[in-house]
Amino acid sequence: MVVEYLLPATVIGSSLAMLISAYRYSSAGGDRRPVSTSVSTSYRSMVAELEIRRDAVKKAIIAVIKQAEEGKIPPDVKESLIKKFERDLEEIERELKSLRLYAKLEELREEYEKLVREYEARRAKLEEEIRRLEERLKVRHGESRREEREEKPEEKEEKKRRPREEDDLEELYNEISKIIEEYGVE
């Protein structure tokens, strides 16, 4: 008769001990410390850690309920464990809600920085292409300027000719006017 009560008590005790130790292990010691926000840890990894802790707490609640249904845990112990696990679950959910916003912000900043790096790389590439083309055009432009310089002396001669021709025409006109006045031809 003692064995009949001793064996279930031992099973219940060991089951509780395993559940509690598993929960403490998964929740970083079992005490209610807030999640540390070290600089080296990203918010996304902290969210992942909290999601694992949340899953462990949910599994612990399910295990307590199963143990209670099998009669291995008394109802009062079941209720106290479930309340403790639910409080821990609520705390984890609150932390998750906050950290998810920071994780999203972190993700957006990384995406922005990536975009800026890609933009700067593309900009540098385009500037290099522009510089090369401008150098090639300067060489060609320099050749065309030489051609212009060769044409410029011709233009200067034409410019010199024009005033002389105009002067010549004026002189011719003046002479014709004198002849007409002298001979009276109208």
Q: What pLDDT, in 10s, does the model give residues 14-26?
A: 566 556 666 665 5
Compare 144 and 44 and report the one with higher pLDDT. 44
Q: How far is CA 20 from CA 56, 96, 147, in A?
A: 11, 23, 94
The answer for residues whose C-beta is within 8 angstroms of residue 105's C-beta and 6 or more apart is 43
The predicted-structure confidence for 102-145, as pLDDT tens digits, reads as follows 999 999 999 999 999 999 999 999 999 999 888 888 877 666 55
Residue 66 has pLDDT above 80, yes or no: yes
Half-sphere exposure of 150 (CA within 13 A, CB side): 6
Percent share of the chain, pLDDT over 70: 63
183 vs 169: CA distance, rounded Å: 21
Q: What is the pTM of this model?
A: 0.45
Residue 24 pLDDT: 63
